[in-house]
Amino acid sequence: MVWSYNRIAKIMYGRNFVSELYSYTNTGASTGGSIATGLNRVIFVKIQEQSTAAEANLAALNTTLPTGDTFTIVTTAAQCGYCWVIGSS
C-alpha cells in the first residue's frame, strides 16, 4: 500500500519552460497518489503504464490542468509506470 515516484530526467528549455520524466510505483492495494514536481505550473501530463499485458483500466489524471506543482494519478492496484510532465519553473 505504498505509492512512490522518482524524477528520471529534467530538461530546461530557455529560462522557464521545463520537461520532466517521472517513474511511479504502486505496491499492494495502492491505487495512485500525488506527484509534487516543484514546478510553478504544470500544463501537460502524459501517463504511460508499465505492464507485460494489456491493462483492463488505464491510469488517469485526477487533476485539472493547468495546476500548481502537484498533480494526482489514479491507477488500478499495484500498477507502475511513467509520466511526462511539461510546465514552467
3-state SS of 1-33 is CEEEEEEEEEEEECCCEEEEEEEEEEECCCCEE
Residue 61 — very low, low, confident or very high, per pLDDT cuts 50/70/90? very high
CATH code assigned at 62: 2.60.40
| Count of structural domains within the chain | 1
| Strands ordered across the beta sheet of 70-74 | 32-36, 70-74, 60-61
* Stated pTM of the model: 0.87
Q: How far apart are CA 13 and CA 59, in angstroms?
A: 28
Average pLDDT over residues 56-80: 89
Q: What's residue 55's pLDDT?
A: 67
Q: What's residue 35's pLDDT?
A: 94
Cis status of the peptide bond prior to 66, with omega within 30 of 0: yes
Average pLDDT over residues 58-79: 90
Residue with cell 510546465: 87
Residue 29 — very low, low, confident or very high, per pLDDT cuts 50/70/90? confident
pLDDT surpasses 60 at 83: yes
Domain assignment of residue 59, given as a range: 2-88
